[in-house]
Chains A and B, each alone.
Chain A
Amino acid sequence: MELTRFAPIKNLLKNRYPQLALFVLMLAGFVFAILAGFIGTPVGSHNFSIVFVWIAWWAILIMVAVPFFGRGWCAVCPIPVVGDWLQRGAVLEPAAKTPKWLNLRVPAKFRNMWMQNIAFTLVALFSSVILTIPIVTSVVLAAMLFLAIGLSMVFERRAFCRYLCPVGGFIGLYAQAAPIELRIKDKRVCAQCVGKPCYNGSELGSGCPWDVFPGGLTKNTYCGLCMECIRTCPHDNIAVNLRPFSADLAKPSVRLDEAFKAFIMLGAALIYAYVLMGANGAIKLVAYSVFTPAWFTYAGVFLAVIFILLPGLYWLFVKAGNLNQALSGKYFAIASTPLIPLGLMFWVAFSLSFVLTNASYILAALSDPFGWGWNLFGTASIPWQPVLSSLIPPAQTLALVGGLAWAARVAQKTASQINISSASVIAYCLALTSLMLWLLL
């Protein structure tokens, strides 16, 4: 269903000011979070930077934004916006015809998801520290902000979002499962369009910041929903549609960088469930003690699980079920498509426990964001109390079993496209789901 058929929605998306207002609000919150990490209490559970970034924002991102709006978060993310403005030399106006900065094209070998995979893995390896120490969170956030600005000065468009953002990679991967998409209405219009302002820009707006030609969009992975193409299209040929969940997965990706993103996300969810949510205090301490010999062992195991064990096992599973089928990189990538909904639901299940367990910190941090004894909204003294804790295990079970069913359905569709048996893929998903259930419950 085309949402942009409705005039209020279309006007809302075309108008630059609502999005700009959200950008400014988000940017102010982002800067505030960075500041809180530097000057607020070092106690993570009482510092705005930790509570709002890793509890509130993460909950909204992984449980609402990504599953239902795909890259909806990217549409209002404050990290690239300063770089965008500097790159264009304007806040509202489109870029000048003569670039203000270097405006280089990102080298071809980096135009993929590998850098994002590495960036996410690095953040994941240090997550025990990043997620608990406000000043470390602030350093990471500030680094992302300045990296985004720096890359905007050197490269054209949003190089940071597209090729480096550790969050953007998995959002793009899971956005394929979301029931919302931006697509063109009629290919012929795009083909005949002179100047392609949606990609090259016009006086109405910038060319696609995500380096995507909307006329060729077939999946959500690399569309940041920034809505610039809706503003620049002279033919009103861009639509935002509601669609069934996981519609993009019917056209599987053949790229190994995307396939490995799925393994990285699956592995990270499993390891987090064991390390962060488990009862093993010693392993938590090891994960926290960065750069110690024990931590290097932990890092080695982490990397081995996500880059070798899970993909290797998957290859063996698929191969075992299809002994006569050659399983090249392309086929392997296609065969790993079911891991996208599976991984998404792993993250939903994992996040449910720590978000609901720690949600009460949000109200306290709202009133006292720096831990300085303020009580802005009268909620500063609300004690820590898990929320809906009795619902967590059934909700997690539902998410994981639902994810398994979803993955199985995708596996059946994908398998038929490359003539392999879906049974071994489903068996792999079942094994991992059982492991995740055991770890979380």
Chain B
Amino acid sequence: MKRSERLTRFIITAALFGVVALPLALWAQTPLIHASVAESGGWSPDVLRAKVGEPLHLRFTSDDVVHGFAIGQMDMQPVEIEPGKVSETILNFDKPGIYTFFCTRWCGLNHWRMRGTIEVTGGTDDPQPASAPLYVTLGLDLDAPHPAEAVPVETPSARRGMELLRLITNQPTYQSPDYYRSHSPSQVFQDLSASGLTDSQRWDLVAAIWAQNTTLEALAEGQQVYAQNCAACHGETGGGDGVFADDLAVAGEASMQAMSGSMEMSMQAPADFSDPQRMYGASPALLYGKILRGGMGTGMPMWGSIFTNEQIWNVTAYLYSFQFDYSK
């Protein structure tokens, strides 16, 4: 073999080897978190690890549509993740624990299931034992039907109820947060049966009690959280007719079960918060529990690892605005 032939073969082999080997080597050293719609796998990887006090540098890319990254219960600006581009963020954790990260953009039918966890270890703080949520303490069965025994004829008015509330100031029980959270409006209505008030007045009083246990700011936050996270299925006006509701009804179970690691699902239509039977029969603790725990295989995701306690109570208070006239 001539020297020129040998040299040419070497150059070609080296060039082709370089073209393949160099990107592969760089690929191995370029860890990216890939985001894709939940039906295509969601986050990859979906379990990250970090240490308290050590910055966690994350680089994201989207494999399909625009996604967002945020960590549940953490006050942070979501990271925008565009298709084919790389976004970065640096996170610092001061407490150990398991943090849930989630997609903040309506990316697809099962957007709500696009989640992952960051396991943070180290630090000197002992993990605080979690206290049982109220619905557990009260022994509520979240999945049992809870129809209201009575519903109002017209929309109860908190403003009218406030005037009546002044008249029954000798009964502070009605105004305590514990009482409010553990009773459904229908139960409170029944409790007021001996008050001598008309049905309409008693419903106004119930509305006033609900209004007293929240604030305009809390309702505003509840509305914002609802609009960002709930309205796609439950609808802007709470009617269970969000933009994804119909598609989920058609493709929900199949699409959910196509996701890796999914459990057996039985798709249910999103709850209708404009239904008086449903809402007047539900206590705040019950609604809180449903939001915190999720629907357990019904299509309703669990929000306990995403929303703070305060946010869940605020959303709960906001849900009753589909029944009450909260204006004071």
Contacts and interface: CB of A to CB of B under 8 A. Distances in A.
A binds B: yes
A373 B61 contact: yes
A436 B93 CA distance: 61
A232 interface: no
Contact of B4 (A27, A32, A39, A92): A92
Interface stretch (B24-32, B118-126, B141-149, B170-178): B24-32
A90 B5 contact: yes
Interface string B64-91: 1000000000000000000111101000
Given A371-B85, A371-B86, A373-B61, A91 B12 contact: yes
Interface in A244-285: none
Interface string A43-60: 101110000000000000
Contacts of A41: 61, 63, 83-84
Contacts of A32: 19, 23
B86 A43 contact: no
B63 A42 contact: yes
Given A27-B16, A28-B19, A373 B64 contact: no
A27 B84 CA distance: 25
A36 B24 CA distance: 10
B271 to A, nearest CB: 32
A122 to B, nearest CB: 26
Contacts of B12: 24, 27, 91
Interface residues of B, number: 28
A62 to B, nearest CB: 25
A35 B5 CA distance: 27
A36 B61 CA distance: 15
A47 B16 contact: no
Q: Which of B15, B24, B63, B84 has the most CB of A within 10 A?
A: B84
Interface residues of A, number: 23
B2 interface: yes
A91 B6 CA distance: 9
Contacts, number: 71
B15 A24 contact: yes
B86 A372 contact: yes
Interface in B22-54: 23-24, 26-27, 30, 32
A370 B88 CA distance: 17
Interface string A13-42: 000000010001001100110011001011
Nearest to A369: B23
A41 B134 CA distance: 46
A93 interface: yes
A90 B8 CA distance: 10
Interface in A83-101: 90-93
Contact of A91 (B5, B15, B23): B5
Contacts of A371: 61, 84-86
Given A20-B8, A91-B5, A373-B85, A43 B64 contact: yes
A20 B9 CA distance: 11
29 contacts: A24-B15, A27-B15, A28-B15, A28-B16, A28-B19, A35-B20, A35-B23, A36-B23, A39-B24, A41-B63, A41-B84, A42-B63, A43-B62, A45-B83, A46-B83, A46-B84, A46-B85, A90-B1, A91-B5, A91-B9, A92-B2, A92-B5, A93-B2, A93-B5, A371-B61, A371-B85, A371-B86, A373-B59, A373-B61
Which 9 pairs from chain A and chain B are nearest by CB? Answer: A46-B84, A373-B86, A43-B84, A43-B83, A371-B84, A41-B84, A28-B19, A42-B63, A91-B8
